Amino acid sequence: MSETGSVKFKCEQVPREISRFAGFAELNRYRRKLLALGMIGVDASGIGFGNLSIRNGATSRFYITGSATAGIPELTPADCAKVVAYDFERNWLQCEGSTVASSESLTHAAVYESDPTARAVIHCHDMKLWAALLGKAPTTPKRAEYGTPEMAYAVRHLFEATDVEKRKIFVMAAHDGGLVTFGKDLQDAFGILRQPIAG
């Protein structure tokens, strides 16, 4: 799936302590909801899946849950990383903190870059919802694997060629169960995720 030992980008980690940031309590609140729904967590093989991020003010920087933290019930700021720079072409990312940023960091970066109004991103898993939305909601191509520059470019393309900016949800075709929602905050992103389930 996603988290444990699967970071595919080159990460330049700056070991700087992450203190409580704006939106940190909200991040834990929505992680708890997603954990309870089984949309993030650890699978039977011990592989973690799912991650959340919050934009840092009006900048292109963002805080994201760390790699291999999906199964932790309650995060501390030390379980998050602050992404301060990235380069899709070089498959490179720079983050601050004591943990490596999630394997989906480039995907989150592509959303923030493509939609200036996006302040929060959720990447989660739900096979039933994924199957129902595959090809019906904006969908990345099968060749774009998670956590790669190809996925970041595919996300950019969705913003250019589909109504993803309006719908605020997309499906990862090459990542079984993988869904991404985004919005003005995590409540908004979570609400968008719940709409198709309720409907």
Rounded to whole angstroms, how far apart are CA atoms 82 and 97? 7
- Model-level pTM? 0.94
Closest CA to 186 of 116, 103, 118, 108: 118
**Per-residue pLDDT averaged across 62-72, rounded?**
93
pLDDT, position 2: 35
For 138-166, what is each residue's pLDDT tens digit?
A: 999 999 998 899 999 999 999 999 999 99
For 164-198, what is each residue's pLDDT tens digit?
A: 999 999 999 999 999 999 999 999 999 998 775 54
**Per-residue pLDDT averaged across 82-95, rounded?**
96
Given a contact cutoff of 8 angstroms between Cβ atoms, the answer to whether 67 and 3 are in contact is yes
Q: Which residues pair with 82 in a beta bridge?
A: 63, 96
**Per-residue pLDDT averaged across 44-68, rounded?**
93
Given a contact cutoff of 8 angstroms between Cβ atoms, the answer to whether 103 and 172 are in contact is no
What percent of the chain clears pLDDT 90, i.e. is strictly above it?
Answer: 85
**Per-residue pLDDT averaged across 111-125, rounded?**
97
Q: Residue 103: pLDDT above 70?
A: yes
Q: Which domains does the chain have, with CATH numbers?
A: 10-198 (3.40.225.10)
